Chain A
Amino acid sequence: MKQRILRIAKWTVIYTALGLGMLWLHDPRSVSMDAAASAVKFVYQQF
Chain B
Amino acid sequence: MLPFADIEFYLLFAVLVAAMYALKAIAGKRITLAQAIAGISLLYTALYYPKPLQLLLFTVYQCGLTWLLLFRWRKLHGLVGSLLLALPMVLVKLNVEVDLLGFAGISYITFRAIQVYLDGEQLRERFRFVDFIGFLLFTPSLLAGPIDRYERFKGDLDAGWSRLNGAALIAGWELILLGALHKFVLAELVDRYWLQRFDAASTMTSDMAANMYGYAVYLYFDFAGYSLLAIGLGRMMGIALPANFDRPWLTQNAPEFWRRWHISLGDWLRDYFFRPIYKQLSSTAALRAWPLLRQNIALFSTFLLMGCWNGLQAHYIASGALFGLYSVAYNSVLHRARKQRRELWAGWPSPVAKGLSILIMINLASFALYLFSGRFPYLH
List chain A positions with a Cβ less than 8 A from chain B.
Answer: 11, 14-15, 17-18, 21-22, 25-26, 30-41, 43-44, 46-47
Contacts and interface: CB of A to CB of B under 8 A. Distances in A.
23 contacts: A14-B177, A15-B177, A21-B181, A21-B184, A21-B185, A25-B184, A26-B184, A26-B188, A31-B5, A31-B6, A31-B184, A32-B5, A33-B184, A35-B187, A35-B188, A36-B195, A38-B187, A39-B144, A39-B226, A40-B3, A41-B2, A44-B143, A46-B311
Contacts of A34: 188, 191-192
Contacts of B192: 25, 34-35
Contacts of A25: 184-185, 188-189, 192
Interface in B113-146: 143-144
The binding surface of chain B is classed by DSSP as: helix
B104 A44 contact: yes
Given A30-B7, A31-B7, A33-B2, A43 B185 contact: no
B219 interface: yes
B273 interface: no
Given A21-B189, A25-B185, A43-B104, A37 B2 contact: no
B148 interface: no
Contact of A39 (B6, B103, B222): B222
A18 B185 contact: yes
Interface of B: 2-7, 10, 50-51, 102-105, 143-144, 174, 177-178, 180-181, 183-189, 191-192, 195-196, 218-219, 222-223, 226, 311, 373
B191 A43 contact: no
B126 to A, nearest CB: 30
Nearest to A30: B7
A42 to B, nearest CB: 8
Given A35-B218, A46-B104, A47-B104, A22 B5 contact: no
Contacts of A38: 5, 183, 187, 222, 226
A47 B189 contact: no
Residue among A31, A33, A34 facing the most chain B CB atoms (10 A cut-off): A33
A18 B186 CA distance: 9
A43 B105 contact: yes
B263 to A, nearest CB: 15
